[in-house]
Structure 1
Amino acid sequence: MQPSSNRKRRREAWPKIRKIFNDIHLWGGLISGIVVIVVCFSGTIYTYNTELRELAAPHLHKVEVPQGGVRLPAGSLAKTVAELAGGRVTAVAIPADSRRSFEYTVRTEDDHSRFGTTYYVDPYTGRLLGTSKEETAVGKFMGYMFSLHRWLLLDKIEKPIFGELPNRTLGSYITGAATILFTLGVITGLVIWFPRKLRTWRQGLKIKWTGGWKRLNHDLHNTLAFYSLIFLFLMGITGPQWSFPWYREGLQKTLGTYREAPAGNRGGPAGGGQRGGGQGGPREGRGSDGGRAEERASASLLPIARYLEAADEVLPYRGDYRVMFPAGGDSVLSIMKNRVGFFAPAAGDQLKVNVATASVSEVNIFREKPLNERIAGSIKALHIGNVYGQFTKLLYFFACLIATSLPVTGTLIWLNKMKKKPAKGVRRKRKQAQPV
């Protein structure tokens, strides 16, 4: 008797639990709906940010391969770029595709940007194709899409709207809070979707195109959300880390990768984003003879092809290279290699190579890291969808498009429920009261 009574109590308690989840799902969606539409719509477009920017400026990225053409040494081109730019080349990107340009990252004394300036060079002629400072209509548009996605364009307003709080921070707080509510909606939505009777679970996987518009709207909300559930959850759970330091710290502690930041780096603005993690070049040397130290380091470099040959022995696959040059007389340079292809992972493998001997001193293969470190190193990729190249980008594009529609279809479901027909007894009384 005891087991059956426990099952009965659970059956009686489930409708109450379901109602709690339903209320969280409903009111969280209504509160965050407009912001979620804006964030998801801009995110849908921004999924192909890189591809759209390159499409708008093909002269920077595509080159003609001459018959029997051989690419010039990347090291000699680096010296030419440094003289032309009047700065220091900190890194060079060497693509596996022979039809693409070399990309040199340059730092100058008056360049205070986070990533420096990229110089695009034809590897066959040595001709400068342009720089990352060139503006295109698509580039400006994508900049607005990013601002809309992160800060709701509030960073474009100079005067603070709310007290002394910077508008960019305010915008990040709003989008971050809306994303948290959206993630709660994803979780509670799964509970609501789960059928009360297991034998009817297949109905939740289909869209009845022949039904009325209310049924179609209901199916579009529930079924499409179910199929995109895992992607919506990944987008939602990773997004707020760029809005709230406490969220980012909590995420890192959950993954077991949290490290106390140096005292000088604490207390940054909440909306400022995450610091780079190994993608940029090394820090520039300081001091009165910093320039001479850099010249000595440059003079001691072997041909870059030697370093790439050493890297190929350890990482024998086709991929794009990014070589980070040493500064201040350092004896080690860094090389990152990324696989290429439709299903290529976004994460790359890193090597440390001795400048004088081209011998590999340290190997850091991404897939060999512990799972928690791989997840922590893929947070951005998990959010924007390039975990496995164009394959996951396409999935994220459709998932984000579905996420844009969910507040609309969900609100229509709520409005339809508010307009339910009156009970049978009420309808009978109304009918009897009608004049003959």
Structure 2
Amino acid sequence: MNLSTLWKSVRNIANEIHLYAGLISGIIVIAVCLSGTIYVYNTEIREFSNPELYQVEESSSRLSAEELKVKLESELDSKVIGVNWNNEPEQSVQFTLRKEDEKGSGTTYFINPYSGEILGDAGVKTSAAEFMGYMFSLHRWLMLDRVESPILESMSNRDLGRLINGIATLLFTLGVITGILLWFPKKVKNWRQGLKVKWNANWKRVNHDLHNTLAFYSLIFLLLMGATGPFWSFQWYREGWQKTWDTYRDPNERSEVVEKKEQELMSSGRIASLDEIIEATNNALPYEGIYRISLADKENELVRVSKYKTGFFARSGSDQLKLNPNSLDIVEANLFSDLPFRQQVGRSVKSLHTGDIFGQFTKFIWFIACLIATSLPITGTLIWLNKKKKKSAKKKPTVKRDLEMA
């Protein structure tokens, strides 16, 4: 078998896989990618729709984090267990509080940092929050989680939606990979044709060019979205990803030994204020960013701080610190830039999937790529239908001649 015949066989196999992978997953891919296109700008849509929660009027004096903490704990008779703090002059901050006898993650409130006024809480269902909730449900579980009666006895509706979603995503990724082989023309000299759309041709040719060309230009981003998607569908895939990129941690591994080691590092004395925690974090991580602080819920627990860079090209990976709440000594520091490349990739799985790996710059690219992904099952199905119609038209004259001869 010569090279030409081998390549033809490979293309034929790739074509069959590409066709049936697309036909089987098409409807699911459209739903998942369309909702994903919208969800790329989840934060921006929420902030735009409900500015009263996120925007404040700049004033001359801003209350300190500790002053806000004391004020809120007194007003709500609850304990602050978490803070999302930023230094943006026209943005609110967020405090999470929980009552002593309350279980769960508590309630997060949007706070005006100048007056201490409670602007609202994250639990209130605004129209934007409700809409984005539907988009997230469609993207993750195909909205099956909203069906009250169980569809299958063997699994929950949410698990069923996750399973169907994961299979469709794997088929989509397989379609992208085989599409790479099909993109290359039969004749090498015609490779430029795959880089442009012939707009002055008939609609069938334009549709064909749109499918091939748009898929080619968004190839890398489609592969990243497809390769990271099953992370939230399959346990085996999630563990495989983590082991591949050296970020896997056995959930049972955090044992009494680790907790005892942390407790030994604790010192007795007064608990540091929020302002002191932010200052200590800023000394260790001297750059502009957003702080996410998890305060010690029990005695002998460390304070956990994550800090994210802000800006148009800001990377999404956070720097993480564990602080002694008494002495403010840094017990453990996990800086994103210090991680090996493998672990940086592994820890960025969500950012690689949603597109905020480098801030607004990559979010816009992912938005366009996801929009293209939504169109691919449609243009691909039209190509298949046109080919079927063409084959049927070729067979009809042969049948007619056979009847005339009879």
TM-score of the aligned structures, taking structure 2 as reference length = 0.89
Find the counterpart in structure 2 of residue 242 from structure 1: 232
Q: Is the 8 A contact 1:37 1:404 kept in 2?
A: yes
Which of 91, 95, 98 lines up with 1:104 in the alignment? Answer: 95
Q: Of residues 129, 137, 140 in structure 2, which corresponds to 1:147?
A: 137
Aligned counterparts, 1:200-215, within 5 A: 200-215=190-205
Q: How many Å separate the matches in 1 of 2:135 and 2:398?
A: 55
CA distance, structure 1, for counterparts of residue 102 and residue 124 of structure 2: 15
Residue 82 of structure 1, CA deviation: 2.3
Aligned residue pair count: 394
Q: Partner amino acid for 1:88?
A: K
Residue from 370, 385, 388 that aligns with 1:418: 388
The AA in structure 2 aligned to 1:356 is N
Shift of 1:108: 3.3
Match of 2:264 in 1: none
The answer to whether the Cα contact below 8 Å between 1:339 and 1:348 also exists between their aligned partners in 2 is yes
Distance 1:262 1:217, change over 3 A: same
Q: Give the counterpart letter for 2:12 in structure 1.
A: K
Q: Distance in 1 between matches of 2:247 and 2:371?
A: 32
Aligned ranges 1:105-254 → 2 under 5 Å: 105-108=96-99, 112-113=103-104, 115-254=105-244
Post-superposition CA distance 1:233-267 (Å, at most 9, x none): 11111111211111112222222332333299xxx
- Structure 2, unmatched stretches of 5+, are 260-266
Give the equivalent residue in structure 2 for 1:59: 52
Superposed displacement of residue 309, structure 1: 2.7
Q: Quote the Cα distance in structure 2 between the aligned partners of 1:359 and 1:171.
A: 46
Displacement, 1:153? 1.2
Residue in 2 that maps onto 1:78: 69
CA 1:424/1:304 → structure 2, altered by over 3 Å: closer, same or farther? closer
Structure 1 position 431, deviation (Å):
9.4
Provide, for residues 330-355 of structure 1, a one-character-per-residue CA deviation record: whole Å limited to 9, x for no partner.
36422221111111111111223333
User: Aligned match of 1:259 in 249, 253, 259?
Assistant: 249
How far apart are the structure 1 equivalents of 2:322 and 2:174?
Answer: 43
The residue that corresponds to 2:311 in the other structure is 341
Letter in 2 for 1:372: R
**C-alpha distance in 2 between matches for 1:38 and 1:422:** 31
The residue that corresponds to 1:12 in the other structure is 5
- Report SS of the residue matched to 1:143: helix
In structure 2, the partner of 1:288 is none
Distance 1:432 1:353, change over 3 A: closer
- Asked if the contact 1:386–1:393 (Cα under 8 Å) also holds between the matched residues in 2, the reply is yes
1:302 and 1:379, CA in 2 relative to 1: closer, same or farther beyond 3 A? same
Shift of the 425–303 alpha-carbon distance from structure 1 to 2, 3 Å rule, reads closer
Once residues 120 and 154 of structure 1 are traced to their aligned partners in structure 2, the CA distance between those partners, rounded to angstroms, is: 31
Contact kept, 8 Å, 1:331 with 1:356, in 2: the verdict is no
* Partner-residue secondary structure (3-state), 1:337: strand
Q: Is the contact between residue 332 and residue 352 of structure 1 (CA under 8 Å) also seen in structure 2?
A: yes
The C-alpha deviation readout for 1:316-372, integer Å capped at 9, x for no partner, is: 211111222123233642222111111111111122333333343433210210112
Which piece of structure 1 moves more, 54-63 or 327-336?
327-336
The letter of the residue matching 1:96 is N
Q: CA offset at residue 429 of structure 1?
A: 9.8
**1:91 has 2:82 as partner:** yes
Q: Note the aligned Cα RMSD (angstroms).
A: 2.7
1:370: which partner in 2?
340
* Conserved? CA contact 1:81–1:119, under 8 Å: no
Instruction: Work out whether residues 79 and 100 of structure 2, in 8 Å CA contact, stay in contact via their aligned partners in 1.
Output: no
Instruction: Tell me how far 1:421 sits from its aligned partner.
Output: 5.9
Report the counterpart of residue 263 of structure 2 in structure 1: none
Query: SS at 1:65's partner residue?
Result: coil
SS at match of 1:76: helix
* CA distance in structure 2 between the partners assigned to 1:341 and 1:48 by the alignment: 16
Aligned to 1:352: 322
Counterparts in 2 of 1:251-290, with a 5 A limit? 251-262=241-252
Q: 1:424 to 1:70 in 2, by over 3 A?
A: closer
Shift of 1:116: 3.0
Q: Which stretch has the larger CA shift, 253-262 or 181-190?
A: 253-262
> Hey, what's the Cα distance between the residues in 2 that align with 1:111 and 1:179?
39
Alpha-carbon deviation of 1:132? 0.8
Kept in 2: contact 1:96–1:321 (CA 8 A): no
- Give the letter aligned to residue 420 of structure 1: K
Displacement of 1:196 in angstroms is: 2.7
- Tell me by how many angstroms 1:163 deviates: 2.5
Please state whether the residue corresponding to 2:357 is helix, strand or coil: coil
Question: Equivalents in 2 of 1:108, 1:188: separation in Å?
Answer: 55
Query: Does the Cα contact within 8 Å between 2:145 and 2:161 map onto a contact in 1?
Result: yes
Tell me which of 399, 403, 410 is aligned to 2:373: 403
Write the letter of the residue equivalent to 2:211.
Answer: H
Q: Provide the residue aligned with 1:393 in structure 2.
A: 363
Does structure 1 retain, via aligned residues, the 8 Å contact 2:81–2:295?
A: yes
Q: CA deviation at 1:173?
A: 0.7
- Which of 358, 373, 384 aligns to 2:354? It is 384
Change over 3 Å in CA distance of 1:359–1:9 after alignment to 2: same
Query: What is residue 3 of structure 1 aligned with on the other side?
Result: none
Cα distance in 1 for partners of 2:103, 2:49 equals 26
